[in-house]
Structure 1
Amino acid sequence: MKRCIERGGRRDTFLGTRDAEGYIEPCNFGEGKGYYDDAPDQNFGTMVHGLDYPDETGRNMLGVRLWHPVMHKGVINFIRPGECPVRRDLHELKTKNFGSNNFTNVDELYSELFGGE
């Protein structure tokens, strides 16, 4: 992101999803008058904050964290996952164990796909 800001120009902007293309340029935060300085708070309603996976929760359940972001003077302060006010179970899901049975050595895969060394 820092590289994109330094380069400036037209860039895709994101807030949970690809929202729009915008003109990006570097600035010093809080310096000068901003577009949202005098705007009222903007409530975005209920939004997805993130997912709770079984390996993180110890439960065989995929869950979703929901929160209610509010933009104040152009700033959205993101809360920590543990502070999300709403959690919902989505569906049963077991922890995936990672090991040699679900990883492939890149050199072996290259040889398998393209032959040779």
Structure 2
Amino acid sequence: MRQVCQQKLLTERDCAILISYSGNNEILEPISHISALDKRGVNIIGITSVGDNFIRKHVDCVLTMSSRERLYSKISNFATEESVHFLLNVLFSCYFKQNYQANIDHKIFNAKEIERQRFSTLNNIKESP
């Protein structure tokens, strides 16, 4: 439900990032949102595994996640998760760089505010001698 609400708020000035390992199930989220996003002119980046799939055919840009794990022999989905994290970090760094000075100023300002609030909270809970 949350994804439905969020996708309805996006416009042609936004970019949606859809992550799906198979990239094929058109009736399930997030792939089911592609048509509605496309109709509103929302740019779409798909992150999916290697191979031909629905996402690759219907989005503006596709990034390929690692798909080297075998379901029968893996303990966890470590490589897949790390691959997605890496791709999201690359996207974030490219976006951040577009307006670097304003973004770094904003980040530093907010970090200082958070630190000041955090220390004042910690001081309030210290034990009295």
Q: TM-score range by the shorter chain?
A: under 0.3
Task: Choose between structure 1 and 2: higher strand proportion.
Answer: 1
TM-score (norm 1): 0.24
Task: Choose between structure 1 and 2: higher helix proportion.
Answer: 2
TM-score (norm 2): 0.23
